[in-house]
């Protein structure tokens, strides 16, 4: 299991796990506006939202456990970066349970779109 980054002065911001999956880095906690003008109508074309919540369980066969990346944090990042729109992509650790991503999309119909994962079996 990964315990830290072997790099001087590196931030160690890992997700916490209570299972046998690998931990992974969390997004940087501080969001800074860009030092350049972002074009009007800019779109973030690939982002994930995930929460640790019994109503939205992660797939039992996942290979890693990501830190929470909730709706509020994603919208705060879009706002800080002056990005108008975003496309959410279902994160693999949620398997085919798209319910949290769909909830976020319903909350932001004018700003967000999504790519779902479906069970074809």
| pLDDT tens, position by position, 12-27 | 444 455 556 666 777 7
Contacts for 105 with CB less than 8 Å, ≥ 6 apart:
88, 112, 113, 114
Q: What mean pLDDT is predicted for residues 45-70?
A: 93
Contacts for 29 with CB less than 8 Å, ≥ 6 apart:
13
Cα distances from 29 to residues 40, 42, 77, in angstroms, run 25, 22, 10
**In the predicted structure, residue 44 carries a pLDDT above the cut 60:** yes
For residue 6, name the pLDDT band (cuts at 50, 70, 90).
very low
**Percent of residues, the chain, with pLDDT higher than 90:** 64
**Which residue did the predictor score with more confidence, 107 or 60?**
107
pLDDT of residue 49: 96
Q: Which of the 8 DSSP states describes residue 105?
A: H
Q: What mean pLDDT is predicted for residues 35-43?
A: 93
The rounded distance, in Å, linking the Cα atoms of 28 and 26 is 6
């Amino acid at each position: 299991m990964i315990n830290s980054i072997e790099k001087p002065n590196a931030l160690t911001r890992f997700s916490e796990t209570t299972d046998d999956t690998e931990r992974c880095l969390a997004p940087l906690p501080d969001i800074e506006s860009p030092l350049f003008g972002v074009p009007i109508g800019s779109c973030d074309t690939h982002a994930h939202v995930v929460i640790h919540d019994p109503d939205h369980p992660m797939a039992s066969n996942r290979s890693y456990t990501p830190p929470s990346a909730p709706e509020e944090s994603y919208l705060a990042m879009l706002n800080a970066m002056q990005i108008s729109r975003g496309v959410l992509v279902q994160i693999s650790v949620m398997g085919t349970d798209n319910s949290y991503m769909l909830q976020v999309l319903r909350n932001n119909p004018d700003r967000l779109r999504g790519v779902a994962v479906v069970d074809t079996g």
